[in-house]
Structure 1
Amino acid sequence: MDKKKFTSISLQEEMQRSYLEYAMSVIVGRALPDARDGLKPVQRRILFAMYELGLTPDRPFRKCARVVGDVLGKYHPHGDQAVYDALVRLVQSFSTKYPTLDGHGNFGSVDNDPPAAMRYTETRLAPIAHKGFLEEIGSETVNFSNNFDGSQKEPDVLPAQLPFLLLNGSSGIAVGMATNIPPHNLGEIVDGLIALIENKEISDKQLSKIIKGPDFPTGGELICGNALQELYKTGKGSITIRGVIKIEELTLSKGKHKKNALIITELPYQINKAGWIEKLAELVNSNKINGISDIRDESDRDGMRIVIELKKDSNAELVISNLYKKTTLQTNFGAIFLALINGKPIQLNLKQYLNYFLEFREETIRKRTNYYLKNTLEKLEILEGLSKATKDIKKVIETIEESENSAEAKSKLIEKFYLSEKQASSVLDMPLKKLTNLEKNQIDDDLEKLQEKKDYFQKLLNERELLLKLLIEELLILKKKYDVKRKTKLLKNIDQNEELETINNQILEDFVNKKTKLYIDNRLYLKKMILNNYKKSFEEVNKIIDNKNIQKFIFKIEKNIKLIGITLTGKVFHIDWESNINNDFKLDNKIIGNINQNEILNFHSMKKGIKNYLCILNSDGRFKKVLFDENMFKSNRSFAITKLKNNIQIIDSFISSEENNLIILTSIGRLFKFNLSNKNLNPTTKQSQGLMLAKPLPTERIVSCCQYKNGDNIYLISKQGKIFCINSNEIYYANEYNLGYLNERTQLKNDYFLKVSPSNHYLDIETNKNKSARLDFDKLNFTSNKTNFLINFLNLEKGEYLENCFRLENLMH
């Protein structure tokens, strides 16, 4: 093999060169539109090919396969499906604001149904495309270049009479860049162009008052605000669009109650209806959106209608807010005004683009006027020659008769009558009927009219103000003919978080007025309970029942309360229940963060704006009180509230105020009583280990603690279900030197204590046999037993014992 045929090159340089060529090919030849006509190459070629085929709006439809074949064979050497997809989009009224093609057949739907094959569908140019793109193409207004094989000529750009880049928008992903231009309203764009012609110094703010915002073919609602101003000022930004939804009362059938329903009549631009409904159903089934009982699609040829039936007690405004927040019923449209100018991708703001289009349109009108002037001068030259000839027709005839041939006749006419070659040829070609007086007068009239036209065209080219006036007149004609009412409604700047907060506050107010309770069950679901149901749940007390779905923690719904949880390992986390107040939801990792659910010890509610002390007791007898501040959660969802040694856990906790007292219980019944306002129990930091208040003996464990008020009864419950009652005044205060209070009546055999509770609380218990009971201490009879001990009132089965106990505050008031 001859080594001279090979050249060594740098792989890096070759890759850079080749990739740059590829990138520019994609940018210029496929993905980005030209700023002048707003078309990508494939779109321009489709329109021009159809123009050449004569598929004007007044002609019959032609098969799309024929159009695609012409485009492929003459101008666009790519795949037929790519061309057909581009053609389909130009037909779809839900994709293109002002469709440039009329279609006959199935061209897809907002449900993302595919169009029929190209052999079945038919198309032709739409009136706005024929007028706005192609009317002036034969007037030497644009340059033509060779096609891919040099066999045809194709236009570099179409002589667009309107800024279709803004009217229909455009989207495309190139290499290292992308464009996404939203569609706009024709009337507003024309008014903006006219305002810019009349005042070149118009500000972006003034211009945005005329062009109020994008106008999408699918309608919807546009939230106007700073983002829209930023988009028009810089050419890049993100705007928020919404679907249109209303509340409607449905009468389903006779004898049935009326139901509230949400009716969606418009979805945001480019949202797939069928896909949206399917996604909504998933959210409803997974309890991420509550309050919905049924979803159905009642859309027909008259328009879109998605019916969302609501449950009886659902708050419609909150459901709407959740639909906006959790589905694409509200979505952001990331816009960037990127287009090709002189073959280079350039980002333009609104005013810059309108100015660029006006320059292009002014240039097009000048080229068109020059073309008209050239034709007028040619006609004028011929008519002037005919006029000279008809005024001395006898001499003209004699000259022709005396000539040997037409060439000699032509030469003599030029010489005798001072005619040009074109004029002499037209005289020789003149039919005899032109010699009548009527025809002579017609020639003179035509001469006068052509002279007026010539003067007008010359004046148009010389006087820019006159040309701009014509430009405005033509824009107004197009506006009158093709303008349609704005579809996308404009909304004032809406803060979705504020909107949701307002709705939540209204619902919260309603819950507070109805004394609704909030509870967490044994499956860690956070739910609500109306007052009557809450009262019913306390009717069957002091009795073992099958454990179904007990309420572990119950809170009163109030304004400005914060729910927190605490784990065995000392982590504290908060639950954002207010932002999802109308829904029941599971406390999974999405809600409580990276918390091991099996380690959760307690939940507490705290009133915002007052001093809340979180009191915690460790298994080693250490106790600490932390002044709780809601700002603790600003940076983290959870944090450590205490510092624990190895194998030490938190065993109990409560929220306290300073005037209460503290009781600590050990497994053998020792009680340690303290005043929480004692200076030794001052609040400590999160980093401290706490103060040793109850050091356990080798044979016992620290099991529980609670707060109480002077004179309250204190109840102790054991693993075997035994309950001991003692008045708090009988217990003396402990200090760091004594061993606490131990009543001889509390000595247990083969048993130990689990929980301590004051008299103003209920106690929920769970057994190892999956049974439960709710204890109301006020209904227990201790007077018949001098030892204040209830031993077998729960009637536990053989081998059955208590596993868990949960204190519940009395919230009957």
Structure 2
Amino acid sequence: MDRNIDNNVDNNIIQTEYSELMQKSYIDYAMSVIIARALPDVRDGLKPVQRRTLYDMHELGIRYDKPYRKSARIVGDTMGKYHPHGDSSIYDAMVVLAQDFKKGMPLIDGHGNFGSIEGDGAAAMRYTEARLQKITQEAYLADLDKNVVDFIPNYDETEKEPEVLPVKVPNLLINGAEGIAVGMATSIPPHNFGEVVDGVIAYMKNPDITTAEMMQYIKGPDFPTGGIVANQDDLAAIYETGQGKIKIRGRIEIEKGKAGKDKLVITEIPYTMIGANIGKFLNDVYSLVESKATTDIVDITNQSSKEGIRIVLELKKGADVEALKNLLYKKTKLEDTFGVNMLAVANGRPETLGLVPIIRHHVNFQYEIAKRKYETLLAKEQEKEEIQQGLIKACNVIDLIIEILRGSRDQKMAKACLINGETEGIKFKSKASEAMAAQLCFTERQAAAILEMRLYKLIGLEIEALIKEHEETRAKIAEYSDILEHRSSMAKVIMKELKAFRKEYARDRRTELDNLEEAVVVKKELEVSDVVLLMDRFGYVKTVDTSTYDRNKDTADAENKLILKVKNIDKLCIFTNNGNMHLVKVLDLPYGKFRDKGTPIDNVSNYDSSKEDIVFIAPLMDVEKHKLIFGTKSAMIKLVDGAEFVVTRKTSQATKLMDDDELLFVDMLSENATMVMRSKKEMFLRIDCGTIPEKKKAAVGVRGMRLDREDELTDIYLLNDQDEKEVEVKGKQVALHRLHIANRDTKGVKK
């Protein structure tokens, strides 16, 4: 390579600190997401994708009084002209703008399947159609032709798009907003249209209005799903700071059923329950029934339709309705929290705003829109007045003008005479006419209008109409000038328009505001009783009452490999060969008749019969009162205080095992007990349990018996004082209780 080229390459290399470059790049990315995608503008309450979609529909002429157009057409046009992102983001935004259960005031009129409140998605954009709502056309997109907002180049500078829409109502409050940016998120609840308009008018009359005074008009959120705000007193602080938590409850009605069986009917749901959370609510109710948290619910059906939400809970006779309502509020999504963070882009930067500041920004924007609108209208009327004055003046000297036109060689000569009185080259009938023509001084705009005037305009009635029109124009000029010169006049115009919107589009409040006591679930004290746990050879478990067991004792003893008397409020400790302990509540075990099959113990605990074997099962109440003896195949033994196994986790480590070792034996220690260890090579060692040291459950333990290579323990027996136990070894019986008590960590005797 040429050396000069090498030098040029070296000179073009820019050295910079990597951390500084990363920081700058990340900040640029974050601000791009915040401003250009995720957060709404406080002026029109819209995110860029929403603004561009509405503007594109306006440009395509898809008005409220025109036929619907395919959603795919709108999405494609928006993407190609203004929003160079995925079509799904545009269509998703468009769908939400059409959903009356998400928006307090839907801005798009959707035709077709635009999803449901239960979380069903909208149909593909090729199937659905849409057009603008009337309110959108009148209050969001009107006056765009009057230079009320700035237009900026689109992404490839081939089109122009509005920087912000000239929205005449505080859309940020009416429809709320949700968005996740980088390092920040916005969550603004929707409000009642009529209340918000009243709040704006109140602010315009008193710019020093406080949050408390404003809340006399805007009382609180008004969710499209209705429901009840349960912490009304917290709203003042939320609206002051722009942050807080709103507790929302669904509405429950009680219907009388047959035979004294009541029904709980949920007719309104919390706003946060929209979509998949309705299904989750149903599942939560099923779980309450299955876990026996309530026994009052007999059946639950979702009868919701286009007419509204209707979830019916059928109750058993004599059910405690109030207690059940509290349980539903406490344990399900029927009471939920809406986190408020009123974050929006104000003056080009994200800012958390209270209620009054949001309205202040909106009103300032309205004054700016009105100023630019009436400046444009005034300029048009002044231009019109100038032309009208010229035409009226021309009608008074029409004969002279006709003489000028007939005597001129071209239009340029005639126009120069009308504007500047230049008569050179024009043939006049008399010197008097020439002298009069020299005194003419029409403006250029007036001269152009005179030259374009048609002869029928000289009819008497037409001249009278022109004079009347001129008077109307002067009246408009006076009106527009007054609006521009006096802020009070401009305020009256804005308020008049707001009142008209309120009259046409306001509706009754849906969400009730109240201060409700927190739902309290009083647990019924469970009556403690003795039950008998039965486990058959296949691992199926069940519990029966003691009297049932006593009646069927012989059969039960013959058919089951484990029989334990336990308390119904107790837990079972299941020790397995891999060193784990699984806990299972006795209440989780099926309780019923003696001949019931039961359920696999795998189904009610974390125990997995395909990967581990049960070594020992005992009630936790007994375990915590005793010391437990542990023994492994490699003859590692120890004592552990049973209190160490009083844990909350369903599965925990019961003991530490060395590699390739297994837990062989666990039992509760009794006084004066001895332990007999038996190996695969038929070596026997009996030791006093008092020689076994106590260790923590996380310890391996100590060696109990010295084993030959390739030998391991096969059995461990625990003998109390009076126990007499024999085992068979190579066809002969060995009395374990007669074995000599030896020292721990010895080889034992061969049998």
- TM-score of the pair, normalised by structure 1: 0.64
Is the alpha carbon distance of 1:127 and 1:518 closer, same or farther for their aligned partners in structure 2, counting shifts above 3 Å?
farther
Contact persistence 2:232–2:513 (CA under 8 A): no
Query: Equivalent residues in 2 for 1:406-421 (5 A)?
Result: 406-414=411-419, 415=421, 416-421=439-444
1:291 CA drift (Å): 2.3
Is the alpha carbon distance of 1:648 and 1:56 closer, same or farther for their aligned partners in structure 2, counting shifts above 3 Å?
closer
Contact persistence 1:190–1:476 (CA under 8 A): yes
Is the alpha carbon distance of 1:434 and 1:175 closer, same or farther for their aligned partners in structure 2, counting shifts above 3 Å?
same
| Corresponding residue for residue 473 of structure 1 | 496
| Corresponding residue for residue 500 of structure 1 | 520
Query: Matched residues in 1 for 2:199 and 2:466: separation?
Result: 45
Query: Matched residues in 1 for 2:548 and 2:411: separation?
Result: 125
Contact persistence 1:290–1:319 (CA under 8 A): no
Could you report, residue by residue, the CA deviation over 1:200-258 in whole angstroms, capped at 9, with x for unpaired residues? Answer: 2222112123211111111111123343222101001110111111111234xxxxx35
Match of 2:373 among 353, 368, 372: 368
Contact persistence 2:264–2:312 (CA under 8 A): yes
Query: Matched residues in 2 for 1:320 and 1:350: separation?
Result: 33
Could you report, residue by residue, the CA deviation over 1:297-344 in whole angstroms, capped at 9, with x for unpaired residues? Answer: 112222221111123343222222111111111110001111011221
| Aligned partner of residue 149 in structure 2, secondary structure | coil
| Corresponding residue for residue 176 of structure 1 | 183
| Corresponding residue for residue 461 of structure 1 | 484
| Corresponding residue for residue 225 of structure 1 | 232
| Aligned partner of residue 172 in structure 1, secondary structure | strand
1:56 CA drift (Å): 0.6
1:131 CA drift (Å): 0.9
Question: Structure 1: which 5+ runs fail to align?
Answer: 252-256, 525-536, 555-562, 568-574, 578-587, 590-595, 603-615, 620-645, 651-695, 701-748, 752-813
Contact persistence 1:42–1:76 (CA under 8 A): yes
| Aligned partner of residue 138 in structure 2, secondary structure | helix
Query: Matched residues in 1 for 2:22 and 2:361: separation?
Result: 36
1:598 CA drift (Å): 4.8
Query: Equivalent residues in 2 for 1:530-569 (5 A)?
Result: none
Query: Matched residues in 1 for 2:154 and 2:306: separation?
Result: 42
> Structure 1: which amino acid aligns with 2:46?
L
Residue 455 of structure 2 is aligned to residue 432 of structure 1: yes
Query: Matched residues in 2 for 1:339 and 1:163: separation?
Result: 13
Is the alpha carbon distance of 1:541 and 1:54 closer, same or farther for their aligned partners in structure 2, counting shifts above 3 Å?
closer
Kindly report the root-mean-square deviation, in angstroms, between the aligned alpha carbons of the 2 structures.
3.7
Match of 1:158 among 139, 160, 165: 165
1:265 CA drift (Å): 1.4
| Aligned partner of residue 85 in structure 1, secondary structure | helix
Decide which moves more: 222-231 or 211-220: 222-231
| Corresponding residue for residue 261 of structure 1 | 263
Could you report, residue by residue, the CA deviation over 1:639-684 in whole angstroms, capped at 9, with x for unpaired residues? Answer: xxxxxxx97889xxxxxxxxxxxxxxxxxxxxxxxxxxxxxxxxxx
Is the alpha carbon distance of 1:518 and 1:368 closer, same or farther for their aligned partners in structure 2, counting shifts above 3 Å?
farther
Decide which moves more: 144-153 or 11-20: 11-20
Query: Matched residues in 2 for 1:521 and 1:699: separation?
Result: 29
Query: Matched residues in 2 for 1:211 and 1:29: separation?
Result: 30
Is the alpha carbon distance of 1:25 and 1:520 closer, same or farther for their aligned partners in structure 2, counting shifts above 3 Å?
farther
Is the alpha carbon distance of 1:523 and 1:85 closer, same or farther for their aligned partners in structure 2, counting shifts above 3 Å?
farther
1:95 CA drift (Å): 1.4
| Corresponding residue for residue 327 of structure 1 | 332
Query: Matched residues in 2 for 1:142 and 1:170: separation?
Result: 22
| Corresponding residue for residue 208 of structure 1 | 215
Is the alpha carbon distance of 1:308 and 1:618 closer, same or farther for their aligned partners in structure 2, counting shifts above 3 Å?
closer
Contact persistence 1:111–1:275 (CA under 8 A): no
Match of 1:246 among 253, 260, 266: 253
Is the alpha carbon distance of 1:697 and 1:221 closer, same or farther for their aligned partners in structure 2, counting shifts above 3 Å?
closer
Is the alpha carbon distance of 1:519 and 1:188 closer, same or farther for their aligned partners in structure 2, counting shifts above 3 Å?
farther
| Corresponding residue for residue 56 of structure 1 | 63
1:469 CA drift (Å): 1.6
| Corresponding residue for residue 285 of structure 2 | 280
Aligned residues: 565
Is the alpha carbon distance of 1:540 and 1:402 closer, same or farther for their aligned partners in structure 2, counting shifts above 3 Å?
closer
> Structure 1: which amino acid aligns with 2:60?
L
Match of 2:123 among 108, 116, 125: 116
1:376 CA drift (Å): 0.7
Could you report, residue by residue, the CA deviation over 1:334-363 in whole angstroms, capped at 9, with x for unpaired residues? Answer: 011110112210111111111111111111
Query: Matched residues in 2 for 1:478 and 1:617: separation?
Result: 76
Residue 38 of structure 2 is aligned to residue 31 of structure 1: yes
- TM-score of the pair, normalised by structure 2: 0.69
Is the alpha carbon distance of 1:539 and 1:115 closer, same or farther for their aligned partners in structure 2, counting shifts above 3 Å?
closer
Contact persistence 2:148–2:166 (CA under 8 A): yes
1:282 CA drift (Å): 3.6
Question: Structure 2: which 5+ runs fail to align?
Answer: 422-438, 535-544, 574-584, 588-603, 606-615, 628-638, 644-669, 675-720, 724-751
| Aligned partner of residue 209 in structure 1, secondary structure | coil
1:544 CA drift (Å): 7.9
| Corresponding residue for residue 306 of structure 1 | 311
| Corresponding residue for residue 78 of structure 1 | 85
1:194 CA drift (Å): 1.4
Could you report, residue by residue, the CA deviation over 1:260-279 in whole angstroms, capped at 9, with x for unpaired residues? Answer: 22111121114223343234
Contact persistence 1:293–1:309 (CA under 8 A): yes
Query: Matched residues in 2 for 1:424 and 1:151: separation?
Result: 37
| Aligned partner of residue 287 in structure 1, secondary structure | coil
Is the alpha carbon distance of 1:461 and 1:235 closer, same or farther for their aligned partners in structure 2, counting shifts above 3 Å?
same
Is the alpha carbon distance of 1:91 and 1:185 closer, same or farther for their aligned partners in structure 2, counting shifts above 3 Å?
same
Residue 505 of structure 2 is aligned to residue 482 of structure 1: yes
